[in-house]
Structure 1
Amino acid sequence: MEESSTMADRWGYEVATASKACISAIDGYYGEVLMYGRNRQLIFEAARNDPNCVLANVLAAHLASSKLPSATSSYLAAAASCLDRATRYEKAVFKAVSCLLSDERDNEHTVGVHREVLKEFPRDLISLKRAQVFCFYIGRPDLSLNLVDQVLGQNEKVGYIHGMRAFALLELGRMSDAEKSARKGLELNKNDPWSQHNLCHVLQNDCRFTEAVNFMKDCSSSWIDCSSFMYTHNWWHVAVCYLEGNSPLEKVLEIYDSYIWKELERNDADHEEVYVNALGLLLRITTRGLMEQINDRLKRLASKFTTKAHWHVEWLFDILALWALTATEHINKAEELLNSMKFKVSLLSEKKQNLLQKGILLGEAMFYYGKANYAMVFDLLGPNFDAIDYKMIGASDEQLDVFNEVWFITLLNTGHLHEGIEELEKRIQQREGASFLWKLLARAYDMEGQSDAGFASNRAKVLEAAYFP
């Protein structure tokens, strides 16, 4: 390498490298992260082009922590060994990523360190994205929004910032504000998959299913180069809108077969990211009483989790896998997975154990739900369950909502009709256009002998007739 010098990255911040190839790969990596692209491995190329570049190595360490764990420490060590020649910006990013990757990580401190990076380097949208993802996995959308708003003024004309803001807003239940931010992001960059996703999220929450599907299908040609997660998750949203909009099951399964399961055929597919979306969709289908229609697909999917290779990627995955394994009679494997989850939690600090006990509780409940042991599900979750309180498993409101559906069904199947009616009526006030909730309410009314059953049933039929005419 040439004598020590600096070059500016995409944000205009100085990086200690004389390698144009290195800085080009770093900038390319930025684009891949912001667009949820498939080629985030560019950052490994940046480190190869300049093994002494602190920024390239520390960003490579962060990506390796989820994609190539065995290489994480070597990248981090390479970055640390060159800190004496690093720029102030590189040192700030190194501190933030090192904090994030530490086994002794404190959540609030980690967010605070990223806040300091953004205070001095507000155009660094990768540090913002990294912090937002972290906030998501610890269930703190409030902190996520604060971080975005901290740097919004310096990035108003960058579409990505508005998509990031939209997600934090919708996770806080501020759907109207989220829609405005998502549309602002799309005005600046119509192909931003995250802004597209967030607008669909809002439309779906508001039961504007036809509008959501039409919008997303118009956008779908721009997803071809998206990561496995973004590609299948956006199609997952389309499928859920079809399901909630009472389209024929064939349309839902066409999405599953053609865009979610088929993704696994790609050489560059990230299987775990696909499996989370596949599991979440099949669980929703079964809550509609359609287990028989998807049984073969569920068995094929569950067979992937009978080995440990895919376990413990993230909490949501493990919890859904527990259900899939028990529902397909892989009881021993499900017990092994559940015990493994408990063991991993037992190794954490007392503070983190307390935080994640809800995850274990939900996992146990889904274990018994897969066995159709509704009494145990009720006993585990208690009478006041609300999935929104389980954000710490790393799931969006929309992903969590299926557990509320599981809960409603559990209440009815265990004879807790009063609680079931109360919960369904409350939920319908929030999503009046959700026909499935009206169907469940009609069933609960009928089981309790209430005359309102006919009204609720008719309301469901009227809504269903209005969707996808």
Structure 2
Amino acid sequence: MPAATARPTDPFGNPISVSDPTSRRLIDDFAHGFLACESTAARLVTEGHDDDAPLFQACAAALQMFAETGDAPAAARPHIARALAGAAGTTPREQRFIAAVAAWVDGDLQRAIQLHQEQANEFPRDLVSVKLGQYHCFNLGDCAGMLRLGLAALPDAADVPQLHGMVAFGYEQCHRLREAEAAARRAIGLLRKEPWAHHALAHVMLTEGRLHEGLAFMEDVSETWTGLNSFMVTHNWWHLALFLIDLGRADEALAVHDTHCWGVAKAYSQDQIGAVSLLARLELAGQDVGDRWTELGGYLAQHTQDQVLPFLDLQYLYGLARAGRPEADALLARIEAFAPHAPEASRHAWQKVCVPAAHGLVAHARGDFPRAAEGLGLALPRMIEIGGSHAQRDLFGQIHIDALVRSGDGRHLAQALDVVQPQRNGQPESRRLARLADRIHAGLGLPPEVH
């Protein structure tokens, strides 16, 4: 008898129910590219190839959803409908993956996360599912969920460098910095070009105030940031720029913005919010950014109707207000109207965090610092609920401190000192924090620190 033909597998050894060779190649590109943060992941939808294979269609639906725009679900629905129509003929692993993507398209992120966790427990080498589940947890501020997913896969997939990077970021977001650094270094030891591990280690070093070391590390590995998707390459350069800002080298950070952070994929949401965040931080550090808000505002204006993630909307809103565009008021009104009707998983974040923060951010951008301090002060204790990383959400804390300092109120200055001085004590290398602390001390009639 002839030997049975082995079923094809994805790059991580998971059997797939896809017969067409081109489709299998594109699924491989998607799986590997998604984990490696490489642009090859998008080939599945950019090469013009089509296939009714349910797994192929589920991957296409996921790629549409990564646009993070209000019309992304409409673009994804035809793909996920085709996937669901043929799902009964696929493996149990593929069926659960398809169901998880369908839940995402339907806006049920809690259901999607549950399915991804089940997948990690039963099929731990389905690393696309693990990373997708981490993405959803990240957007809901569920740091423990991120780590659980990565750890569930680790015993069976320790040979995959990217998984160690995923675990590293989960540890870092749970404030377990020693384990985060060890996992990141394990990933880089297996594969020097592991940008997600670079990113996780940059988080650790920034949090611990290891600014010179962090800058040197990111500069050293930056030569490997080739062939990446626009988010990963711009985001790692964004992290490098944060080290420069804290070291008092804001002019160099502005050059990084111009050269590496803005202009890679200007129409993409993540590139836009990276630019908003970096320009805002540069201004808070005293750097003149010229007319850069004007161009950026033109791209942000397309998002007034999105309401996909509160984390995104807040940064679109601040950028629009800093650009002086009327769409800022339209977006603020949309946020207020949408919040009570947001999906259940994120409704409290929209109502209790996003709405007061939105008012505070618009007030700051327009120079109403007491109102900015009030709105952001209400939101900050629960800011984790809007998603994003510690480093990304720190923008809102920095704007709040700036509002406190510039409000001209002694009570507000005392609040600012209570936040900034502990940060300053823990980050002695930071020239930004040193200058900010000196400014607060002067406002309170206190002598400057002895440096």
Same fold (TM over 0.5): yes
Unaligned residue ranges in structure 1 (runs of 5+):
460-469
Distance 1:311 1:255, change over 3 A: farther
**1:242-296 CA distances to partner (integer Å, 9 max, x unpaired)?**
111112x3311211111122324xxxx6532221111111100111233xx2131
C-alpha distance in structure 2 between counterparts of 1:261 and 1:369, whole Å: 23
Match of 1:56 in 2: 56
C-alpha distance in structure 2 between counterparts of 1:350 and 1:29, whole Å: 30
CA displacement at 1:171 relative to structure 2: 1.0
**1:339-398 CA distances to partner (integer Å, 9 max, x unpaired)?**
12223323325664223220222122111110110111122234x7646x3123232111
Match of 1:333 in 2: 327
Would you say the 8 A contact 1:5–1:17 is kept in 2? no
C-alpha distance in structure 2 between counterparts of 1:336 and 1:87, whole Å: 47
Distance 1:55 1:302, change over 3 A: same
What TM-score do you get using the length of structure 1 for normalisation? 0.87
Q: Secondary structure at the match of 1:40?
A: helix
Further displaced range: 31-40 or 17-26: 17-26
Is 1:371 matched up with 2:369?
no
Is 1:355 matched up with 2:349?
yes
Alignment of 1:46-445 (within 5 A): 48=49, 50-51=51-52, 53-67=53-67, 69-103=73-107, 105=108, 107=110, 109-247=111-249, 249-264=250-265, 270-290=267-287, 293-308=288-303, 311-312=306-307, 314-330=309-325, 332-349=326-343, 352-357=346-351, 358-382=353-377, 386=380, 389-414=382-407, 415=409, 416-445=412-441
Letter of the 1:419 counterpart: Q
The percentage of counterpart residues that share the same residue type is 24
Is 1:22 matched up with 2:23?
yes
Would you say the 8 A contact 1:203–1:209 is kept in 2? yes
Would you say the 8 A contact 1:272–1:310 is kept in 2? no
Letter of the 2:63 counterpart: L
Letter of the 2:448 counterpart: G
What TM-score do you get using the length of structure 2 for normalisation? 0.90
CA displacement at 1:100 relative to structure 2: 2.4
Would you say the 8 A contact 2:97–2:115 is kept in 1? no
**1:380-422 CA distances to partner (integer Å, 9 max, x unpaired)?**
234x7646x3123232111111221112222222322222222
CA displacement at 1:239 relative to structure 2: 1.2
CA displacement at 1:101 relative to structure 2: 2.2
Distance 1:19 1:329, change over 3 A: closer
Distance 1:262 1:39, change over 3 A: same
Letter of the 1:55 counterpart: L
C-alpha distance in structure 2 between counterparts of 1:385 and 1:318, whole Å: 14
Further displaced range: 430-439 or 358-367: 430-439
Q: How many residues align?
A: 439
C-alpha distance in structure 2 between counterparts of 1:321 and 1:13, whole Å: 39
